């Protein structure tokens, strides 16, 4: 049995488009960790298990109604990203972002990209420590995928 091929920290990358519509992306300086979450909202319906025997428990059928893609991250507050993050949040604008899976195999999804909103931006200060931040980014719709060459 072959050992799994795993990803390193630097092989899961979050980038933000630097000029709207320009197609040039850059990492947000200071982001030290993030979680990329994919969630399905599921509708559940109870259905009779047997039309002839009503004593049987219902069966629960499920169907995906929608999907949501979010990123939650932690950072040290870096001067290089200060204005980018503040203006993004204050403008309430969608900005193109992408998540790169740098160790994807050829033919597998390497990028998930699309417009996103910065829906949460928090700063924390603690005496003796650097100022930190937490962010929440939500894709506006379903991100498009690009396969690795």
**103-139 per-position pLDDT tens digit:** 999 999 999 999 999 999 999 999 999 999 999 999 9
CA pair distance 70, 34, nearest whole angstrom: 10
* Chain centroid to CA 90: 20
CA pair distance 69, 147, nearest whole angstrom: 18
As a whole number, the mean pLDDT across the chain is: 96
How do the pLDDT tens digits run along the chain, 149 residues long? 999 999 999 999 999 998 888 889 999 999 999 999 999 999 999 999 999 999 999 999 999 999 999 999 999 999 999 999 999 999 999 999 999 999 999 999 999 999 999 999 999 999 999 999 999 999 999 999 999 99
Structural domains of the chain in order of their starting residue, each with its CATH number? 11-147 (2.30.110)
| Residue 145 neighbours by CB under 8 Å, 6+ apart | 109, 111, 112, 113
CA pair distance 138, 48, nearest whole angstrom: 38
Q: What is the pTM of this model?
A: 0.90
Burial class (CB in 10 A: 0-12, 13-18, 19+), 15: middle
């Amino acid at each position: 049995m072959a050992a799994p091929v795993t990803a390193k920290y630097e092989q899961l990358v979050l980038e933000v488009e630097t000029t709207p519509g320009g197609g040039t992306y850059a990492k947000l300086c200071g982001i030290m960790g993030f979680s990329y979450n994919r969630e399905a909202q599921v509708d559940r319906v109870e259905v009779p298990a047997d039309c002839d025997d009503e004593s049987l428990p219902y069966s629960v059928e499920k169907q995906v109604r929608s999907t949501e893609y979010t990123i939650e991250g932690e950072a040290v507050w870096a001067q290089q990203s200060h204005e980018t993050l503040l203006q993004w949040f204050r403008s309430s604008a969608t900005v193109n972002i992408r998540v790169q899976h740098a160790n994807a195999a050829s033919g597998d999804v390497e990028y998930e990209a699309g417009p996103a909103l910065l829906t949460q931006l928090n700063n924390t200060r603690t005496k003796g420590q650097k100022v930190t931040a937490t962010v929440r980014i939500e894709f506006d719709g379903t991100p498009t995928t690009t396969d690795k060459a």
